[in-house]
Amino acid sequence: ERVEDWYHSTNWMYYSKEKGRYIIQTPSLFRLTDTIFGIENEKGFVECKESKLRTKTIERLIPCIIDHKKLPQDLKNRMLHNICNRSSYDKSWNSVLAVACSIFKKYQLDYLNKRKVSEMLDTSTLNISYLYGRLLAVYEKLEQDALKSGASGNDEKRTTNAERLWTAYTKMPGRTLRILEEKIRPYKDRLKKNRYGTAIYYDKLLTEILNQLNGTESFGQKKNRALDENFVFGYYAQKQDLYRKQENK
């Protein structure tokens, strides 16, 4: 039963190369440890090279499974620090993002008394970090779509402004959002020229999220506070929702 509880409190959507699709699974303790304390190697895998630290971390995680202990908070904090430094993960980003979601899910179930943490988009959530995460996902996808619309193949693989400004955005979201909006403007214009309907959809979605953000309590005082783990959930859920709708067209 305790192993089952661990599974349900840490499972997330992971891409399976063997099955060629996303499946719900729980990362191994080795994978958790490597992602928390590792760095990306030349092959694109995140690996913790300090064997003693790796062993000690796994030993700290085992009681979470067999004794139903809470996730050590320093591990969650380390993972949040990692995920805020997106440029450190050139090839392994999607894998690191999924592991981060597993860790943050476990943390919120343990410490915030949440009954459920879902990977599905929640458009009613008024959490500031979550909404900032949603905005970042929309800006990233908008720019990607603009680059693909009537562009050369080389443009499609360019790093987006959302990716470049990721770290600054997590530290000072309100200020960085204004910079991002300026940088995105040419891509909005490009999208309106080549895919007008898509551009209008993004405009409406951005307006909706910004209105929610501006309507949150004490937003003026909190708009530049560093984001917490909820921004990762908002980013992930919004990104998946956008891709899902694109596939269903």
Query: What whole-number distance in Å separates Cα of residue 128 and Cα of residue 133?
Result: 9
φ, ψ for residue 92 (rounded to 5)? -105, 10
Q: 86: Cβ–Cβ under 8 A, 6 or more apart, which residues?
A: 93, 163, 166, 167
Burial of 91 (0-12, 13-18, 19+ CB in 10 A): middle
Q: What is the pTM of this model?
A: 0.94
Confidence band (pLDDT; 50, 70, 90) for 12?
very high
- pLDDT digits over 166-175, tens only? 999 999 999 9
- pLDDT digits over 71-80, tens only? 999 999 999 9
Over residues 208-216, the mean pLDDT reads 95
Q: 226: Cβ–Cβ under 8 A, 6 or more apart, which residues?
A: 170, 171, 172, 173
Query: What whole-number distance in Å separates Cα of residue 244 and Cα of residue 249?
Result: 9
Which residue carries 């204004």 as its tokens?
178
Which residue carries 């959002």 as its tokens?
177
Spatial CA neighbour of 94 closest among 249, 236, 246: 236
- pLDDT digits over 140-190, tens only? 999 999 999 865 544 556 899 999 999 999 999 999 999 999 999 999 999
Query: What whole-number distance in Å separates Cα of residue 200 and Cα of residue 208?
Result: 12
